[in-house]
Chain A
Amino acid sequence: MIVGDLKPLAEIVSAIKEYKQVLVLGCGSCVTVCLSGGEKEAEQLSRELSQIRHYQGTPPKFEMGCILRQCEQDLVLEYQDIPAGTDAILSLACGAGVQTVADAFDPLPVIPALNTTFLGASAKPGIWAEVCRGCGDCVLTFTGGICPVARCAKSLFNGPCGGSHNGSCEVGLDTPCAWAMIFFRLKRQNKLHLLDEIRAPKDWRPGGAAGPRKRVRVGLGDGTKYGNKRT
C-alpha cells in the first residue's frame, strides 16, 4: 500500500493560515490503513488545527470530510460535497489523491497534509516498511522475492557491496542487507544458480526515467480506442 506521514503541524498551519474556511479531507484507502490520513486522522487534525494558539490572527473555520478514494476523479466529483464558503482543501491523501482532488476542483487550492513516503508492506502491527519502488521491470523472480531496487540502499543488481556486514547494511545495523537476505532465501530454495548470471545495467525508463507513466487497459473506457500500451 501507499504509506504516508503527517507533515509537521507548523508546516500545515503555515500553508492554511491565509484561508478562511478549510475542508480537511481524509482518504478511506491506503492512508486509512496505515493510520495517517483516514477519517479518524482527519477529525483529529481538524480539531488540532482549530486551536487558536497556532495562529497570530483568526484561525480558519474547519469542515471535515472523508471519501473512499481521493485518487479517482469521477468518484470524487460525484460524491464529495464541498461545503459552501470553502476556500481551500487540506487533503490527507497520498500525492496521487491530492493531485486528483486538485484537478477535480480546480482552481480551489488543495494542500497536502501528508508526505507520501513509499510503497510498503506491514509485517507487524504498526510497522510499515518499503519493499517496492515501482520500477516497472520486476526482478523478484531472480532474487527470491526480495527486491534489490527498494531494499538495497544502493539498488545493486549483482550481489552485495563491501558495506554488507553480518547480514546488515552499512547505512545502519537495523537495516538488513538485501543481498544477504537474497542469498540465504535462494539457498533455502536451492536456487543459488540464479546468482551466477550477471544482470545487465537496469533500464530505468519503465521506472519513470522516461517521464510520467500511464497504463491504459484494453477494452475499458479509452482503452477500447488505444489498446494496452505505455504512452
Chain B
Amino acid sequence: MTYFRVNENCNGCLACVENCPASALSFADRDGRRTLKHNMTKCARCGQCWRVCPQKAIEFQHLLVGHWDDVVTMDLIHCQVCGEPLYSTAYRQKVESQLNSTVETLCPQHRQRQAASKLPLLRPGRIQSKLGDT
C-alpha cells in the first residue's frame, strides 16, 4: 500500500509531479491511461504536493501517520534457563558451523552464572591449612 494517496478529486493534472522539489512523484501514460507514481525513498514529506494541488486531492495524513511494514519474521532461540529471546535460529546455525561445535543457548546472565559454577570452590579450611604449612 502506498503512503501517498489521492482521493477521487484527482484529475491527473500533474501539478504535484511538476512541483515536487524532491522529484519523488512521476507518472506514466500508457494505452490512454495515466498512472501517478510515488517514490517514498525520495519523498521529503515537505507537503508541497498537498499545498499546490488545485483539486485538494492529496490525502497528506497518510504521509504523517503511516502504517507499519513487516520487514522480516524469524524463528528465535531462547535462553534454556529463563526463556529470554536471544537470536535467530539461522544465526545459531551460522555460529555453530563456524565453531564446528554446539552453542549453549544461554542469556548473558545465565552464561555468567554457569561459568562461575564451574570455578573450583575455595574452602576456608583449605586456605587456613595451606597458610599453616608455610
Contact = CB atoms under 8 A, between A and B. Distances in A.
Contacts of A75: 47, 60
Contact of A68 (B51, B52, B64): B64
B45 A74 contact: no
Nearest to B63: A68
A223 to B, nearest CB: 12
Interface string A150-172: 00000000000000000000000
A13 B61 CA distance: 33
Contacts of B52: 220
Nearest to A68: B64
B61 A68 contact: no
A159 B15 CA distance: 50
A78 B19 CA distance: 20
Interface residues of A, number: 9
Contact of B47 (A72, A220, A221): A72
Contacts, number: 16
Contact of B64 (A67, A74, A220, A221): A67
Interface string A39-78: 0000000000000000000000000000110001011001
Interface in B52-79: 52, 60-61, 63-64
Nearest to B48: A220
Interface string A198-231: 0000000000000000000000110000000000
Contacts of A221: 51
A202 B76 CA distance: 63
A75 B45 CA distance: 11
Interface in A64-97: 67-68, 72, 74-75, 78-79
Interface string B21-51: 0000000000000000000000001010001
A79 B64 contact: yes
A2 to B, nearest CB: 16
Contacts of B60: 75, 78-79
B44 to A, nearest CB: 10
Nearest to A217: B21
Contacts of B45: 68
A231 B60 CA distance: 31
Nearest to B52: A220
Contacts of A220: 19, 52
Contacts of A79: 60-61, 64
Interface string B96-123: 0000000000000000000000000000
A79 B45 CA distance: 14
A67 to B, nearest CB: 7
Interface of B: 19, 45, 47, 51-52, 60-61, 63-64
16 contacts: A67-B64, A68-B45, A68-B63, A68-B64, A72-B47, A74-B47, A74-B51, A75-B47, A75-B60, A78-B60, A79-B60, A79-B61, A79-B64, A220-B19, A220-B52, A221-B51
Given A75-B47, A220-B52, 14 more contacts: A67-B64, A68-B45, A68-B63, A68-B64, A72-B47, A74-B47, A74-B51, A75-B60, A78-B60, A79-B60, A79-B61, A79-B64, A220-B19, A221-B51
Interface of A: 67-68, 72, 74-75, 78-79, 220-221
Please name the 9 residue pairs, one residue from A and one from B, whose CB atoms are nearest each other, closest first. Answer: A68-B64, A75-B47, A79-B64, A68-B45, A79-B61, A72-B47, A74-B51, A67-B64, A79-B60
